Amino acid sequence: MRIALVTDAWHPQVNGVVRTLETVAEILRGWGHELLIISPDQYRSLAAPSYPEIRLALTRARSVGQRIADFAPDAIHLATEGPLCLSARRWCRRNNRAFTTAYHTQFPEYLAKRTGLSPRIFWRYIRWFHQASQAIMVSTDSVRQQLIEERLPQVHHWSRGVDLENFSPDAPVPELFSELPRPIQLYVGRVAVEKNIEAFLSTDQSGSKVIVGDGPALDSLRERYPGAHFLGRKTGRALAGYYAGADVFVFPSKTDTFGLVLIEALACGTPVAAFPVTGPIDILTEKSGAMDEDLNQAIAAAQFLRSDDCLKRAAHFAWTMSARQFLDGLVPVEPQLKAHFSRRFVAKILLART
């Protein structure tokens, strides 16, 4: 199958959306599918205000559409709601091409954090952007229900996965951890205002607070919380070692739709402390995580959870299953040929799985 994937989130960004798209694309190519990835690095771009890591592509619908048309895809997927996917959406609508979308991030809440405006203002754009989609791919049941309540009922389940070979309890623990007072409480992810890291750093638990990641809020948080350990970005087996060596993984975000870092921590045998919000409530069980409106209480409770129960929960998340769910959610690109095309479309999926 030929799949055109358009995304505003791509390298050099480091986040769950990029990791998901990159991993699923690699699996699909391994199964014999052809993918065209259209991303901001292929165009002139501007840095997003207050977030230079995110590039906003400068292009028009005609330019993006020509690349899609030349590729002649069987399916078109628009992964994000940014300017590049907006251009692709315009081309698809003008040319009667069906497409799917995904809701990866709590975009209205994200923008509300950065602007001080009500998230309801931004939900208007989200509804408009996704309403023409044949299927909106979502990672959790709580996001599914949220979109249905926002009058976007055409949702399709697309979960996430974890690399169980890389993220495991036997990953080498960093030497620094032998010097830090226990319990070690770890955060991994972007260091940005929407991640609510301050809620974690302001807790009064004893032990050590460790922040792994980079982002626009790094300098200000390092200055305001000199007792915390800010270690920058880590990847691969080294990152797994930080998870494996921590006593508790703390997830303070209230704007994520899933949270890949949650299952990476669980795969390393580390219990999670979080707020009871979308993402944690869909992933964590009583035995693998502690959720409380008081993050202090959640951190304290998580320390008593068993590593084996965390590993059992992580085993439910496989990237191959995620890739199959993505394939199942795609739709034929030309709706006017739906009756004939759908049979050929389904046949391609089935053939690729054999």
CA distance 193 to 252: 11
The Cβ of residue 228 has, within 10 Å, a number of other Cβ atoms equal to 18
CA distance 205 to 222: 18
CA distance 260 to 72: 32
Digit-by-digit pLDDT tens for the chain (354 residues) are: 999 999 999 988 888 899 999 999 999 999 999 999 999 999 988 877 666 667 778 898 999 999 999 999 999 999 999 999 999 999 999 999 999 999 998 878 877 877 888 989 999 999 999 999 999 999 999 999 999 999 999 999 999 999 999 999 999 999 999 999 999 999 999 999 999 999 999 999 999 999 999 999 999 999 999 999 999 999 999 999 999 999 999 999 998 999 999 999 999 999 999 999 999 999 999 999 999 999 999 999 999 999 999 999 999 999 999 999 999 999 999 864 444 445 556 666 656 555
Evaluate whether 149 touches 155 at the Cβ level (below 8 Å): no
Evaluate whether 228 touches 210 at the Cβ level (below 8 Å): yes
Domains and CATH numbers, the chain: 2-161+319-353 (3.40.50.2000), 175-314 (3.40.50.2000)
According to DSSP H, which parts of the chain are helical? 16-30, 61-71, 83-94, 107-115, 119-131, 141-149, 197-201, 218-224, 236-245, 260-267, 280-283, 295-302, 307-314, 319-329, 338-353
The Cβ of residue 151 has, within 10 Å, a number of other Cβ atoms equal to 10
CA distance 133 to 79: 11
What's the pTM value of the predicted model, to 2 decimals? 0.86
CA distances from 101 to 49, 131, 202, 261, 263 (A): 25, 10, 37, 23, 24
Task: Supply the pLDDT for residue 347.
Answer: 60
Strand order in the sheet with 272-274: 229-230, 208-212, 184-188, 248-251, 272-274, 289-291
Question: For the packed helices 319-329 and 16-30, what is the interaxial angle rounded to 10 degrees?
Answer: 80
Task: Supply the pLDDT for residue 345.
Answer: 60
| Residue 177 φ then ψ, to 5° | -65, -25
CA distance 264 to 60: 38
Task: Supply the pLDDT for residue 353.
Answer: 53
Per the rule left: phi > 0, alpha: psi between -120 and 50, beta: everything else, 11 is beta
Task: Supply the pLDDT for residue 106.
Answer: 84
Task: Supply the pLDDT for residue 44.
Answer: 85
Per the rule left: phi > 0, alpha: psi between -120 and 50, beta: everything else, 277 is beta
CA distances from 328 to 51, 129, 187, 272, 341 (A): 34, 22, 34, 31, 15
Evaluate whether 216 touches 192 at the Cβ level (below 8 Å): yes
CA distance 266 to 311: 6
Cis preceding-peptide flag for 183 (omega within 30 of 0): yes
Query: Is residue 81 helix, strand or coil?
Result: coil
Nearest to 157, CA basis, from 175, 142, 176, 144? 144
CA distances from 351 to 23, 26, 32, 35, 296 (A): 21, 18, 10, 17, 51
